[in-house]
A and B are shown apart, each in its own frame.
Chain A
Amino acid sequence: MIEVRDLSHSFSGRPALRGVSFDARPGELLAVIGPNGAGKTTLLSILAGIRTADEGSIQVPGEVGWVPQQAALYRRLTVDENLRLFARLEGVEDVDGAVDRMLEQTGLRDRRDDQIVTLSGGNQQRVNIAIGLLSRPAVLLLDEPSTGLDPRQRERLWEFVLGLAGGGTTVIYTTHHLVEAERYGNRLLVLADGEDVFDGTAADLHAAVPDSDGRDFEAAFVAFLRERGH
């Protein structure tokens, strides 16, 4: 289980995270949502080890895979060459095995020799995620993974992610698509102005908002934030 306690971080004296705490179990899908500037990306970059928190602690049961919002790939290299390069850079012992596994998982075996630039946005995002999975991480961090994808590509992406969670990987993802948070997240972590203002299921959030019957999730979420002064 990943355990995060009292995480705080600030940029030039401006607080970005204020005492954020949460847990996530193996195989759980945790959606981190909140308005712009709430601290979602900062939280993920600290969990990924890109930034160091000013205060707080993080307990992770193994490797952490990180998938940035925009595809971090070399467009002039092929799918196979990208996977192979990052496997080597991450020190994966069985490079051939890891690449083969990812080609199978992403369903891109027949496109392995195609340059990334020739792939659709959805397939590029699959390779992007596959690179985050090369080292068989216990926790996968996805920063707004469906940005820029069309509905069909989004659906296929989430099928893939659900498959990963089904295999025991803890998936923590940020999103602005509240439908994706409600539909795919086992739990929601709501951040606002750097604070964790809610930790629970979508149903719990609905219940936390007075007179939320009949409202959709997005309306309930906005009402929740307004009620708490955000």
Chain B
Amino acid sequence: MRWLLLKDLQILRRSPLIVALLVAYPVVIGVLIGFALSGDEGKPKVAFLNEVEEEEAFDLGTGEGEFGAEQAREELCKRVECVDVDSRSEAEEMVRDGEVLGALILPPDLLDQLRSLTSLDPEQPVVDVLVNEDDPVKAQLVDDRISALVTEANLILSQRISGQAADYIDLLIEGGTFSIPLLGDDVDILGLARAAEILNGIEREMEPGPARDALGEVAEFAQLAQENLDFALPLLGAVAQPIEVSKIVVSDATASLDTFAIAVAATVTLMFVTVLLVAGSLALEREENAFTRITRGAVGPGGLLVEKLALGVVASLAVTLVMLLVLTPFVSIAWERIGPILLAILAGGAAFAAFGAAIGSATREVRASSLLAFMVSLPIAFLSLVPSGTVSATAFDLLEIFRALFPFHPALDAIESGLDSAAPGIGLPLLHLAILVAAYGLLARLALRRFAA
């Protein structure tokens, strides 16, 4: 059998295009994924134009300092990569050219509008957002990002304004000094509590009569107002953030997004290289009319099949390791977990090789087998990456059954587990892959028998 493996490697060596593809494919995928993961930590680029006067700021009176354009920029740039621009036209051009996902423009009167929120004549602040929704996916992404940013900004403002309102109510209840906005004059506020005390004192000193009764009613009102306004304080807090999210993870542990991206890239590479190589190599045996000659001797169809699986495993191991090595300068690969990583690649490679062998056994020509392998593999990969919740429950149940029949999903799980200890255990995916190796191996063996007949 080793002579057959040697023969396949000799044939590969004589096919420079295939060898070039086998080397270039993982390198290119590795570099692309590496750049994608290491570029900007996944933050979208947004152009930022500040038309507010630099020195101008807005104090909401909460004791948390002033809120101006610089603070707005700081808050925004925590969530997106800000690209400062000098004019509205420059922002428009960058958005139109696709250099940035969108542009945020703070108009000159923004702070006046913000200040009005604490006045008796509030005016809703407006910021301008420029977007380029030239394709539906990008449009959805832009809408989601803008909604998230606006929601966060509103929440921050709402909390600050509610805090200010609470301070006013507290001042109304307890009394104290109040500085009038814009004018800056200090005014002493008596407060409901002290007013009630004064009224109660006067009431006690007054003779019984209609005047004392009326004063008693006023004192009682002051007491009631104080008690009820106390209830308003927690209500204001609730209005500022009506719903607080408490996230409880009910599913298994999961790997990081980076690990998932690497695992997807590795699995796609593993799948295409192994399935195409094994399917093509097996079909080549018949295209060269050598199948009957080989299987007539000591090797037999079973031996030939095992040799092709070995070829697939060797190729998948080499190609996937090359890809991970290329990725290493860009992202952190947990090489200390080399054991589980190798185990995952070997099991995934064997399952894809068996799948490829089943395809190769069903075709007589290399071209037909390559085409079939490609046409079958691509939709399997796509369907295996559909997340739960994005399709109906019934459709997802069907997808789960579909995924279980092909090696992509368990191979992805195994590689993810191999790369990251935080991911779910590797045992089940390995068992799943072992079952698929046996099943597709059997299918390939039956198909070979049919052709031999």
Q: Identify the A interface with B (CB < 8 A).
A: 48-50, 66, 68, 70-77, 81, 85-86, 88-91, 115, 131
Contacts and interface: CB of A to CB of B under 8 A. Distances in A.
A193 B391 CA distance: 61
Interface residues of B, number: 18
A130 to B, nearest CB: 13
A55 to B, nearest CB: 18
A115 B14 contact: yes
Nearest to B303: A89
B296 A66 contact: yes
Q: Please report whether the interface of chain B is mostly helix, strand, loop or mixed according to DSSP.
A: helix
Task: Say whether chain A's binding surface is mostly helix, strand, loop, or mixed.
Answer: loop
Contact of A74 (B290, B297, B299): B290
A76 B14 contact: yes
A90 B298 CA distance: 7
A219 B279 CA distance: 48
Contact of B296 (A48, A74, A75, A88): A48
Contacts of B288: 72-75
Nearest to B287: A75
Contact of A89 (B10, B15, B298, B452): B298
Interface in B276-291: 288-290
A119 B371 CA distance: 29
Interface in B1-60: 3-4, 7, 10-11, 14-15
B56 to A, nearest CB: 76
B292 interface: yes
Contacts of A73: 288-290
B3 A89 contact: yes
Contact of A131 (B11, B14, B293): B293
21 contacts: A50-B292, A70-B289, A72-B288, A72-B293, A73-B288, A73-B289, A73-B290, A74-B7, A74-B11, A74-B290, A75-B288, A76-B11, A77-B10, A81-B7, A89-B3, A89-B4, A89-B294, A90-B297, A90-B298, A91-B298, A131-B293
A86 B10 contact: no
A72 B10 contact: no
Given A74-B7, A76-B14, A81-B10, A89 B289 contact: no
Contacts of B15: 76
Interface string B99-121: 00000000000000000000000
A68 B292 contact: yes
Contacts, number: 52
A48 B293 CA distance: 10
Closest 3 CB pairs of A and B: A72-B289, A72-B293, A76-B14
B360 to A, nearest CB: 16
Nearest to B298: A91
A85 B289 contact: no
B293 A68 contact: yes
Nearest to A89: B297
A135 to B, nearest CB: 9
Residue among A48, A90, A115 with the highest chain B CB neighbour number at 10 A: A90
Q: Which of A50, A75, A88, A89 has the largest count of B CB atoms less than 10 A from its CB?
A: A89
Interface string B69-91: 00000000000000000000000
B299 to A, nearest CB: 6
Contacts of B452: 50
Contacts of A91: 297-298
A95 to B, nearest CB: 10
A68 B289 contact: yes
A127 B3 CA distance: 19
A142 to B, nearest CB: 14
Contacts of B4: 85, 89
B296 A85 contact: no
The residue in B3, B290, B292, B294 that gathers the most chain A C-beta atoms within 10 A of its C-beta is B290
Nearest to A131: B293
A89 B299 CA distance: 7
Nearest to B293: A72
A88 B290 contact: no
Contact of B292 (A72, A85, A86): A72
Contacts of B293: 66, 68, 72, 86, 131
A72 B290 CA distance: 5
A75 B287 CA distance: 10
A71 B292 CA distance: 11
A191 B288 CA distance: 29
Interface string B294-309: 1011110000000000
A17 B164 CA distance: 103
B247 to A, nearest CB: 58
A171 to B, nearest CB: 18
Highest count of chain A CB atoms <10 Å: which of B11, B288, B292, B299: B288
Contact of A85 (B7, B14, B298): B7
Contacts of A131: 293
A77 B296 contact: no
Contacts of A77: 7, 10-11, 14
Given A72-B292, A89-B298, A90-B298, 8 more contacts: A50-B296, A66-B296, A74-B11, A76-B14, A77-B10, A89-B3, A90-B297, A91-B297
A49 B11 contact: no
A73 B3 CA distance: 15
A49 B452 CA distance: 12
A77 B292 CA distance: 18
A131 B14 CA distance: 22
A86 B4 CA distance: 9
Nearest to A95: B3
